[in-house]
């Protein structure tokens, strides 16, 4: 395809006209397609259906002889802690096996910082100003959460290797900058993995704030699409070398391993942070759902069991990702109006359009019956400063729906770009 | 038995001597008994063992056609909401079916009040002084939670009908008094149920604080021991009549219906409060564990199913309660040194000794190998103003252990009382 900006006004006009006809025809079909959320598809859920069997919780005793049907073991049953710790690469004593949601773990930890402070500091709710660094585009629910806490968000552009570390280091000199929140592996939405150097610079960071905390949302820690996968450096281990282990709070979840919302989650942190979290948990609950922990620990057995299981997910997901990437290439390749990633894992494809075209593309798609994550959602406060980023979630729709939706996406992007060029 | 205070010094001396010999003999046995926590016994847990079967979550779709294996339905699946609502006596729209812990629901709600305020008011964390009324003796974990939030606790004596309402009304004139926390049915530890009049006075209360909230921890809402059970007035319905529905937040849990920590919990509140809770939940999590909600909804089916199940619990618990009550009567009846309740439900028997005798009795028991909830734990800040209340939890130990522990308790109480009289 020809670069759009090399077309003259007349060529662009007639191209736009023909694309609009195509769009009108598509709209006439009365479609109802959804590419908006990072949910596994039904075929992926079936991979874990045997998890429902009674045998995983029979007998109901954990390996230390405790009855998982009764209260107790606030930090999780040993086999679940070990499984999570092995996957995360941390000592089990620094890992708490928890409930069904890592988002909930992050929220609760931040609420604790707000109300009790971090590392002995003044509660954030009582500090004049609390700011967080937000590599963007990023995960919309992180931003919703921070906004709800009234934490001021600062955009940090994502580079190829991860967040712009010059900027991070610069902002960290401000004592009111209390932390950073990120998805360091197969980032949401770009599918980028922080490089070793980025992880190391984060690990050695000496922020002005003594109560600085990085929320390391390792959501896609075992969610590889290919044998050749990205490797994420172990940030807790690296930070330990620099005496900065207290800066990092890592969470993971089985939501996209077994069942979303019905899996288990885990939190890992320094011994001091784990002690603080446990002290709060002791006032918050009596124990997490240990039956579900037992179910998961026995079903998956160990890290190798999880990895084998994730290969089955990858087999289902690879064709979907490939198809969307092919459609993007066919529809937008060479036009010079779009950039996108080909991630090796995670749940998203990120599409960058010319500035000012994301909202328009989203609106056109919506009118034609295709739901996409709202334009802007991938940035703090829902505001994409350039209005250019769209997040594609290819996992949930069946292949045929996904094909139709992706094709419409490239059509709408072309229309939006030509309209913008005509202005 | 003879009233201790009618004995002369010599009689008391020789009685004490013989009791001490008995105690020394018991201590020699090297016992290790636990009457400390309100946990169901193993035989109670077995009642719900079929809940583990795959059939309850097969097929995994809720009645509205949603896949419980995937994200969504933040307010719970319809059948779980309906089940909880039916049991609680509220419209399903005012009930959210949640995760595994009602303590967690209370903690999260209070954290929300601290950080965001209640009913549009200033966040409690930013108010000069926040106080809560605490009917006492009460549930130790309520007090631990409030203390952690830095909420000042005010003791409200429990009368036969519930908290001293004169005092409640008096304190409620203070704007810094933001609420009250209680177990209104089969109270922890006394097993008392608030009378209709007490519920009504609470429902019509016009506190000075516009952001006043009563945490109505209805932990034992279906936990009757006998056919003739206590009836608790529906506080949300009553408060609605007086325009005070926003004052009440009710929570329940299945922890002592199915499996502690692996059941489901629910929160009920006014439409305005439910909206506020959902707005916060939307930032906190994606959904609760709907597979476990489905499991419970199908296993128990409806309120009648839960009630039939609770009768089986009662059959197991009645002999334990009766035995402890018999032992208390045999060991302490007529001595004039002890008062206790004979509850019609719940999980505890509360024992009042002469002032200054609770800690001593606890210490004697501990020395003899019997663990009891720490003296004082049933009061805010762990401080029983008269040092007289002890909480007996008869549910968890097997009958023979319970017998031995209860007998030792009466022995230690007699020793402590005689020592006190000798002073």
pLDDT interval class at A423 (50, 70, 90):
confident
- Given a cut of 80, is residue B315 above it in pLDDT? yes
B262 contact residues in A (CB cutoff 8 A): 68-69, 289-292
Nearest to B33 by CA among B350, B418, B402, B407: B402
Residue A115 is nearest to which of B53, B103, B125, comparing CB atoms? B125
- Given a cut of 80, is residue B213 above it in pLDDT? yes
Q: Is B39 on the interface with A (CB under 8 A)?
A: yes
Q: Above pLDDT 70, what percent of chain B?
A: 100
What's the confidence (pLDDT) of residue A37? 85
Q: How far is A279 from chain B (nearest CA, A)?
A: 9
Count how many pairs of residues, chain A against chain B, have C-beta atoms within 8 Å. 156
Element (H, E) at B364: helix B358-367
Q: Do A288 and B68 touch (CB under 8 A)?
A: no
B53 contact residues in A (CB cutoff 8 A): 54
- Given a cut of 90, is residue A356 above it in pLDDT? yes
| A14: number of Cβ within 10 Å | 11
What separation in angstroms does the CA of B294 have from each of B64, B118, B347?
A: 12, 32, 27
DSSP category for residue B385 = T
Q: Do B260 and A58 touch (CB under 8 A)?
A: no
pLDDT interval class at B2 (50, 70, 90):
confident
Query: Is pLDDT larger for residue A402 or for residue A423?
Result: A402
When pLDDT is averaged across residues A216-241 and rounded to a whole number, the result is 98
pTM greater than 0.95? yes
When pLDDT is averaged across residues A195-214 and rounded to a whole number, the result is 98
B217 contact residues in A (CB cutoff 8 A): none
When pLDDT is averaged across residues A218-227 and rounded to a whole number, the result is 98
Residue B101 is nearest to which of A54, A261, A285, comparing CB atoms? A285
Q: Do A285 and B107 touch (CB under 8 A)?
A: yes
B4-13, pLDDT tens digit by residue? 999 999 999 9
Q: Is B115 on the interface with A (CB under 8 A)?
A: yes
Q: Is A74 on the interface with B (CB under 8 A)?
A: no
B132-175, pLDDT tens digit by residue? 999 999 999 999 999 999 999 999 999 999 999 999 999 999 99
Cβ atoms of A156 and A133 within 8 Å: the answer is yes
Q: Do B37 and A71 touch (CB under 8 A)?
A: yes
- Given a cut of 90, is residue A1 above it in pLDDT? no
- Given a cut of 80, is residue A169 above it in pLDDT? yes
- The alpha carbons of chain A give a radius of gyration, in whole angstroms, of 23
Q: What is the mean pLDDT of chain B?
A: 97
The two beta strands, B265-269 and B248-253, are: antiparallel
- Given a cut of 90, is residue A302 above it in pLDDT? yes
Residues of chain B numbered 282-321 and touching chain A (CB < 8 Å): 282-292
Q: Do B103 and A285 touch (CB under 8 A)?
A: yes
Q: Is B373 on the interface with A (CB under 8 A)?
A: no
Q: How far is A11 from chain B (nearest CA, A)?
A: 46
Angle formed at CA B243 by CA B240 and CA B249, multiple of 5 degrees: 60
When pLDDT is averaged across residues A224-253 and rounded to a whole number, the result is 98
Q: Do B291 and A60 touch (CB under 8 A)?
A: no
What's the confidence (pLDDT) of residue A2? 84
B399-417, pLDDT tens digit by residue? 999 999 999 999 999 999 9
For residues A111 and A128, what is the distance between their CA atoms, to the nearest angstrom?
Answer: 16
Q: Do A40 and B70 touch (CB under 8 A)?
A: yes
What's the confidence (pLDDT) of residue B313? 98
- Give the DSSP letter string of B252-286: EESTTTS-TTSS-EEEEE-HHHHHHHHHHHHHH-S
For testing the chain A interface, which of B39, B43, B65, B71 should be mutated: the one with the most A CBs within 10 Å? B71
DSSP category for residue B384 = -
pLDDT interval class at B50 (50, 70, 90):
very high
Q: Is A110 on the interface with B (CB under 8 A)?
A: no
Residue in this structure with the two tokens 């603080």, named with its chain if needed: A276
- Give the DSSP letter string of B337-355: S-EE---SBSS-EEEE-ST
Q: Do A259 and B107 touch (CB under 8 A)?
A: no
A387-398, pLDDT tens digit by residue? 999 999 999 999
For testing the chain A interface, which of B102, B115, B219, B395 should be mutated: the one with the most A CBs within 10 Å? B115
For residues A24 and A113, what is the distance between their CA atoms, to the nearest angstrom?
Answer: 52
When pLDDT is averaged across residues A248-269 and rounded to a whole number, the result is 98
- Given a cut of 80, is residue B1 above it in pLDDT? no
B337-384, pLDDT tens digit by residue? 999 999 999 999 999 999 999 999 999 999 999 999 999 999 999 999
Residues of chain A numbered 126-145 and touching chain B (CB < 8 Å): 126, 141, 144-145
A110-161, pLDDT tens digit by residue? 999 999 999 999 999 999 999 999 999 999 999 999 999 999 999 999 999 9
What's the confidence (pLDDT) of residue A200? 98
Residue count (chain B): 423
Nearest to A6 by CA among A257, A298, A273, A335: A335
- Given a cut of 90, is residue A221 above it in pLDDT? yes
- Given a cut of 80, is residue A34 above it in pLDDT? yes
For residues B306 and B283, what is the distance between their CA atoms, to the nearest angstrom?
Answer: 32
- Given a cut of 90, is residue B185 above it in pLDDT? yes
| B181: number of Cβ within 10 Å | 25
Q: Do A69 and B280 touch (CB under 8 A)?
A: no
For residues A227 and A344, what is the distance between their CA atoms, to the nearest angstrom?
Answer: 9
What separation in angstroms does the CA of B421 have from each of A162, B302, B339, B352, B410?
A: 74, 55, 17, 16, 16
Q: What is the mean pLDDT of chain A?
A: 97
pLDDT interval class at B37 (50, 70, 90):
confident
Q: Do B58 and A52 touch (CB under 8 A)?
A: yes
Coil/strand/helix, residue B74: coil
What's the confidence (pLDDT) of residue B166? 98
B75 contact residues in A (CB cutoff 8 A): none
Q: Do A291 and B54 touch (CB under 8 A)?
A: no
Residue B287 is nearest to which of A40, A126, A261, comparing CB atoms? A261
Cβ atoms of A44 and A283 within 8 Å: the answer is no
For residues B101 and A168, what is the distance between their CA atoms, to the nearest angstrom?
Answer: 39
DSSP category for residue A48 = T
What's the confidence (pLDDT) of residue A393? 96
Element (H, E) at A115: helix A102-116
What's the confidence (pLDDT) of residue A303? 98
When pLDDT is averaged across residues A350-378 and rounded to a whole number, the result is 97
């Amino acid at each position: 395809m020809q670069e759009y900006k090399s077309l003259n006004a007349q060529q662009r006009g007639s191209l736009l006209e023909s694309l609009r006809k195509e769009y009108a025809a598509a709209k006439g079909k009365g479609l109802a397609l959804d590419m908006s959320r990072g949910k596994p598809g039904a075929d992926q859920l079936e991979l874990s259906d045997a998890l429902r069997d009674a045998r995983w919780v029979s007998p109901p005793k954990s390996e230390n002889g405790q009855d998982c049907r009764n209260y107790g073991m606030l930090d999780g049953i040993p086999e679940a802690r070990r499984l999570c710790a092995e996957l995360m690469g941390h000592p089990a004593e620094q890992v708490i096996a928890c409930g069904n949601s890592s988002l909930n773990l992050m929220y609760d930890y931040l609420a604790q910082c707000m109300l009790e402070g971090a590392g002995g500091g003044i509660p954030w709710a009582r500090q004049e100003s609390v700011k967080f660094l937000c590599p963007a585009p990023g995960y919309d629910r992180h931003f919703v959460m921070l906004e709800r806490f009234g934490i001021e968000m600062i955009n940090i552009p994502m580079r190829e290797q991860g967040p712009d570390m010059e900027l991070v280091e610069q902002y960290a000199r401000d004592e009111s900058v209390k932390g950073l929140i990120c998805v360091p592996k197969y980032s949401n939405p770009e599918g980028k993995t922080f490089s070793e150097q980025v992880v190391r610079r984060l690990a050695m960071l000496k922020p002005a704030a003594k109560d600085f905390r990085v929320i390391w949302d390792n959501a896609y820690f075992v969610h590889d699409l290919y044998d050749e996968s990205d490797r994420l450096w172990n940030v807790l281990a690296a930070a330990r070398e620099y005496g900065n282990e207290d800066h990092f709070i890592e969470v993971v979840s089985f939501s996209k391993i077994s069942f979303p919302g019905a899996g288990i989650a885990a939190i890992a942190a320094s011994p001091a942070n784990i002690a603080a979290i446990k002290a709060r948990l002791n006032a918050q609950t009596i124990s997490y759902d240990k039956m579900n922990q037992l179910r998961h620990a026995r079903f998956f057995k160990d890290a190798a069991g999880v990895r084998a299981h994730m290969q089955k997910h990858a087999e289902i997901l690879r064709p979907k990702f490939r198809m969307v990437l092919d459609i993007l290439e066919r529809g937008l390749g060479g036009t010079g109006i779009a950039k996108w990633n080909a991630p090796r894992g995670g749940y998203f494809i990120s599409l960058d359009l010319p500035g000012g075209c994301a909202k328009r593309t989203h609106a056109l798609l919506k009118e034609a019956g295709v739901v996409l994550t709202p334009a802007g959602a991938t940035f703090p406060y829902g505001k994409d400063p350039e209005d250019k980023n769209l997040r594609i979630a290819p996992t949930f729709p069946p292949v045929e729906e996904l094909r139709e939706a992706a094709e419409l996406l490239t059509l709408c992007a072309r229309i939006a770009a030509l309209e913008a060029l005509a202005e």
